[in-house]
A and B are shown apart, each in its own frame.
Chain A
Amino acid sequence: MQTVRRPLNLVPRYSAWSLLRARFARGPFWRPLWAGRKLQDAYDVVVVGAGGHGLATAYHLARDHGIKRVAVLERRLVGYGNVGRNTTIVRSNYLLPENHYFYEDSLRRWEQLSRELNYNVMYSARGVLDLATSDDDMSSLARRGNAMRLAGIDAELLNQAAIARFAPELHPERNRRLPLIGGLVQRRGGTVRHDAVAWGYARAATALGVDIIEDCEVTGVRTSAGAATGVETTRGYVRADRIVFAVAGHTGAIGRMLGLKLPIETHLLQAMVSEPIKPLVSTVLVYVYNHGEVYITQSDRGGLVMGGFLDGFPSYTREGQWYRLEDVVKTAVELLPQIGGVRILRHWAGTNDMTMDGSFIIDRIRYDNVFLNGGWCYGGFKAIPASGAACARLVATGTAPDLIRNHGLGRFATGRILDERGGGPFPVRQ
């Protein structure tokens, strides 16, 4: 693992030594992590969107490829979008090789990320447990688990006694309408503190000389002779040799800027958190019951973080529908009756790029020097470290690394789609 280069002029490296120096420093010692950079007229690469993917891409462009002049332009604030709105789960338990190799690369990077960024992202390998209530569920979990094991990824099929040992809060021996008969666990899966990921990458990228400019909306792309030459922003025109769009949720707007229609619909995904309770949920539980789905984790503060399916129709509002919140809560209480009296404190929603096959897109788009990192569906947060590295390599070298070679836009036209669920070209069913 490469170490981060010495900070330029700001962000002291976090260590016992810097704590000690801060204790005896005259005047302020700690500085803002990324603020205060000025927007320049021209850059080698302009990354649009300071979410997880944009910041990670900028970080890897500077660290792995030595690209000096990189800017990240953000319409709102660092981490305002989905990097701060997800349920913080990381895992690589996908069926399709194109997906599980990519997400496994990401999970390996998560394991090292706190050290690499010199920033505690609180990766917690508490395991991800997909539950089964029927023999059919068990066969499909076994199929997925076997596909993972063939790729060298950890997966274990558990029977009822084993899930009782792994997650005693489930009491699977208890009489239920649909019995919990087993599950598939990925023990290295777990959770990561989502905000810390945005802040950690922003700090590390700033230390490498990347300019992060907040409150700067990109409104258009200027082109000349079949190539993009720069972006129009609310703070004026910025020249750029290469442009990367990482604005998942609003990728449709990028399509319109470039005169393209994309295989994406924008849908809402809700999440919610309960009041803090004593430690109860020891892992990440994933459970489908009738038409509801829930995934539950317990945060370090004690809140139960829960999410479920999409709201079910296109929306840019970030306002979740009541019926979905109800579904998620009902399914959670069906799974863990002991949380029936716990109150929901907050709920929120994020806009998701839902692609026609449920898998992401990293590719050139329209021009040779314009790149799209988007279409993340539900898989955006857990993908951040691998996405940043792979996208930076594509932008810097012009060639897509193997991990994302099959994730191009062209797959929809050739029919080589990556449809994890086999649901057909309907984003709402992915």
Chain B
Amino acid sequence: MSRLACPFCGPRELEEFAFHKTCPEPGATGYAAVYERDNRQDVSLEHWQHVRGCRAWLWVRRDPSANVVLEVRLLGQEPGP
């Protein structure tokens, strides 16, 4: 995994992006939203930002055991559960 495909800018070097956090369970609030994480080995749902590019906030689905990016969308446009 050395690139990420920004929906605006296309594939760019990973160094242009910053990982922010892993997503909590959809609908989680309070303690669960801030602290509780799946930390799964097969899939990881994450918030990233294209900080050294268009600065868009991104929703990213990755496989953390293979370092493969499965899906990138703008934050707020992620697929429903």
Most chain B CB inside 10 Å of its own CB: which residue of A253, A314, A321, A426:
A314
Contact of B65 among A317, A425, A428 (CB under 8 A): A317
A82 at the interface (CB under 8 A from B): no
Residues B1-25 near A (CB distance < 8 A): 1-2, 14-15, 18-22, 25
Q: In the complex, A312 Cα to B15 Cα: how many Å? A: 10
- Is A266 an interface residue when CB atoms closer than 8 A count as contact? yes
Query: Taking A252-B41, A312-B18, A413-B31 as contacts, is the C-beta distance between A317 and B64 under 8 angstroms?
Result: yes
> Which residues on the B side are within 8 Å of A253 (C-beta)?
41
Give the residue of B25, B37, B65 whose beta carbon is less than 8 angstroms from that of A263: B37
Number of interface residues of A (CB under 8 A): 28
Contact of B35 among A251, A316, A356 (CB under 8 A): A356
A242-B31 Cα distance, complex, nearest whole Å: 29
* A262 to B64 alpha-carbon distance, docked (Å): 17
Chain B positions within 8 Å of A322 at CB level: 2
B18 to chain A minimum Cβ distance, whole angstroms, is: 7
Question: Once the chains bind, are A263 and B36 in contact (CB under 8 Å)?
Answer: yes
Residues of B within 8 A of A256 (CB): 38, 40
A31 at the interface (CB under 8 A from B): no
Is the CB of A315 closer than 8 A to any CB of chain B?
yes
What CA separation (Å) do A323 and B41 show in the bound complex?
A: 23
A426-B21 in contact (CB<8A): yes
Contacts A312-B18, A412-B31, A428-B19; is A261 near B65 (CB within 8 Å)? no
Q: Which residues in A have some Cβ–Cβ distance to B below 8 Å? A: 251-253, 255-256, 261-266, 312-317, 319, 321-323, 356, 412-413, 425-428
Minimum-distance CB pairs A-B, first 6: A252-B39, A261-B36, A313-B19, A263-B35, A316-B65, A412-B35
Q: List 27 A-B contacts (CB under 8 A).
A: A252-B39, A253-B41, A256-B38, A261-B36, A261-B37, A262-B36, A262-B37, A265-B21, A265-B22, A265-B39, A312-B18, A312-B19, A314-B19, A314-B46, A315-B64, A315-B67, A316-B65, A317-B66, A322-B2, A323-B14, A323-B15, A356-B35, A413-B31, A425-B34, A425-B35, A426-B20, A427-B21
8 extra interface residue pairs, beta carbon distance < 8 Å, beyond A256-B40, A263-B35, A428-B19: A252-B40, A261-B38, A265-B21, A265-B37, A314-B64, A315-B64, A315-B67, A323-B14
Q: List residues of B whose CB falls within 8 A of some A CB.
A: 1-2, 14-15, 18-22, 25, 31-32, 34-41, 44, 46, 48, 62, 64-67
